[in-house]
Structure 1
């Protein structure tokens, strides 16, 4: 995917990060909602390594992967760990806030540059 004239690798990476983090938030919510569902297998979202590689290659565009969790299962076949999901949710929320602030700064910079052009 090529970048437009006004889109930077930073903006593409921030967009990918926000997409990955929002996907992670939805997956965490699904995991928690199914905490008592027999044989439910928790899922995990990964995108950080792919994003780092994409940025290094000059793109910044990636799609998150949703994979099954490798956590051990309980006697009912479910492997959702509420403590882990809660911590992941807090961390994801903080990362999302940071990425949103960074994206806002990118837009402010672009707006300022367009005003002076």
Structure 2
């Protein structure tokens, strides 16, 4: 009941988005750290592929990659504007995903209650 593809995909999305928020926070915290390379989290393509193939998305895990963007003189490549936009986008996606999960569980709750 809780292991259907949509529930599993939503749980993976929440996990991936949380990992991305953590990477963004680390990037911003290290904006002045010499030699620090920004981290990026990817999971959407793997999740989409699993769902498209009809496979369980439960096996999809977020991948943290090091940004290959050009660096400043101190070797740091964190771009505050880019991180801010990514934070806003990720927060909105996270909230939408949580609402979808909440709606799914509300329907199950109503079905169990017989409402």
User: Which TM bucket (shorter chain)?
Assistant: over 0.9
2:15 equivalent in structure 1 = 19
Separation in structure 1 between the aligned mates of residue 43 and residue 2 of structure 2, nearest angstrom = 24
Once the two structures are TM-superposed, the CA of residue 60 in structure 1 deviates from its matched residue by 2.2
Unaligned runs of 5+ in 2: none
Unaligned runs of 5+ in 1: none
1:1-117 equivalent positions in 2, closer than 5 A:
5-58=1-54, 59-61=56-58, 62-116=60-114
Separation in structure 1 between the aligned mates of residue 2 and residue 19 of structure 2, nearest angstrom = 26
Once the two structures are TM-superposed, the CA of residue 7 in structure 1 deviates from its matched residue by 2.3
Separation in structure 2 between the aligned mates of residue 56 and residue 109 of structure 1, nearest angstrom = 24
Once the two structures are TM-superposed, the CA of residue 72 in structure 1 deviates from its matched residue by 0.5
Structure 1 runs (4+) deviating above 4 angstroms are none
